Amino acid sequence: MLDKPAGLSVHRGPRGGASLEDWLPALRQGKRHLPQPAHRLDADTAGCLALGRTKPAIAALNALFAEGLAQKTYWAVLAGAPPGESGVCEAPLLKVSSQAEGWRMVVDAAGQAARTEWRVLGRGAALTAVELTPRTGRTHQLRAHMAHLGCPILGDARYGGGAGAMHLLARALVLPGIARVEAPIPGHMREALARCGIS
């Protein structure tokens, strides 16, 4: 397991720049094979990332994620407030792109089924801290779903959350029979969480 910092891509992109792949040799720990990520996190999302070292280990981890057995919990600070104290956003997501804006995910009946459960952790002036549990694993699912509810993730400029660092943390990951881990709150999220009554 690894606590991935915000701002670091998991894989090298076409534009280059630093990525987690650059650091994998430092995690070799004298073993023959480099560890490999078993799933993805957006570059701007901090927190729990599972790594596997051998082909059987990576296959076992991939199976847990593919079968929906891996339990992922995220914390986010939203710009605005969701409707109520808890709920479910069940809205299909479709990838669209334009030359002017690049690609993004939108809620569209032609998209793939996507389900996110949410509950409020605390509230502040124009901000809400929430716990998010994705039940599907679509690209940008949490980001697009919160924007669809009218309260985008703070700092998520692509989906209307304004400028600055994105306030989304892969807080906990449970891999049945393997591990249960929790990521610490990153520095860039502490002030906004404190404004919502979470220290």
Instruction: Tell me the catalytic residues.
Output: 42
C-alpha dihedral (99, 104, 108, 111), degrees to nearest 10: 110
User: 194 near 122, Cβ under 8 Å?
Assistant: no
User: DSSP per residue over 139-176, as a string?
Assistant: TTHHHHHHHHTT-PBTT-GGGT--SSS--EEEEEEEET
Number of Cβ atoms within 10 Å of the Cβ of 38: 21
Q: Which of 136, 192, 138 is nearest to 169 (CA)?
A: 192
Report, in this order, helix, strand and coil percent for the chain, each rounded to 5. Answer: 20, 35, 45
